[in-house]
Structure 1
Amino acid sequence: MCGRNSLVWTDDRSNRFRVPLTNRGGRSRFNVAPSQTMPVIVNDGQVLMVMMAWGLLPHWANSLQGSNCPINARAETLAEKPLFRGLLKQHRCLIPASGFYEWKWAGSRKQPYYFRLNESPLFAFTGLYDVWHGADGNAYPTYTIITTEANELVNPIHNRMPVILRPEDEGRWLTSTPPAPDEMTAILGAYPSEAMEAGPVSPRVNNPTEDDEVLIARVL
Structure 2
Amino acid sequence: MCGRFVDPNLRSAGLDTSWLRIEPFAGWEPRFNVKPTQDVVILAPDLRPLLARWWLIPSWHKGEVKDWKAITFNARFEDAAGKPSFRAVWNKGRCLIPMRGYYEWTGDKGQKTPHFIQSAGNEENLFAAGLASRWNDLLTCTMLTRAANDSVSGVHHRMPVLLNTAEQEAWLAGSNDPDLGRGTALKHHRVQRFGLHDDGEELIEDMGSEG
Shorter-chain TM-score range: 0.7 to 0.9
Q: Tell me how far 1:213 sits from its aligned partner.
A: 0.3
Secondary structure in 1 matching 2:91 = helix
State whether structure 2 residue 39 is matched by structure 1 residue 53: no
Distance (whole Å) between structure 2 residues aligned to residue 107 and residue 70 of structure 1: 23
Match in the other structure for 1:170: 168
Q: Which runs of 5+ in 1 are unaligned?
A: 134-138
Q: Percent identity?
A: 29
Match in the other structure for 2:123: 120
Higher strand proportion (structure 1 or 2): 1
Deviations 1:167-210 (A, max 9, x none): 122122223xx22x4xx2122x4343xx3211100101xx2311
Deviations 1:72-104 (A, max 9, x none): 000110222122122111000000101110000
Q: Tell me how far 1:20 sits from its aligned partner.
A: 6.1
Secondary structure in 2 matching 1:82 = coil
- How many residue pairs match? The answer is 200
- Is the CA contact (8 Å cut-off) linking 1:40 and 1:50 kept in structure 2? yes
State whether structure 2 residue 90 is matched by structure 1 residue 88: yes
> What code does the residue aligned with 2:166 have?
E
Q: Kindly report which structure 2 residues correspond to 1:30-41, keeping only aligned pairs within 5 A, or say none.
A: 30-41=32-43
Distance (whole Å) between structure 2 residues aligned to residue 147 and residue 72 of structure 1: 7
Match in the other structure for 1:136: none
* Worse-superposed segment, 69-78 or 79-88: 79-88
Distance (whole Å) between structure 2 residues aligned to residue 171 and residue 20 of structure 1: 20
Higher helix proportion (structure 1 or 2): 1
- C-alpha distance 132-23 of structure 1, shift in aligned 2 (>3 A): farther
Q: Tell me how far 1:10 sits from its aligned partner.
A: 5.2
- C-alpha distance 23-30 of structure 1, shift in aligned 2 (>3 A): same
State whether structure 2 residue 18 is matched by structure 1 residue 21: yes
The TM-score, its normalising length taken from structure 1, stands at 0.84
Match in the other structure for 1:190: 182
Distance (whole Å) between structure 2 residues aligned to residue 201 and residue 148 of structure 1: 24
Match in the other structure for 2:151: 153
Q: Which runs of 5+ in 2 are unaligned?
A: none
* Worse-superposed segment, 62-71 or 52-61: 62-71
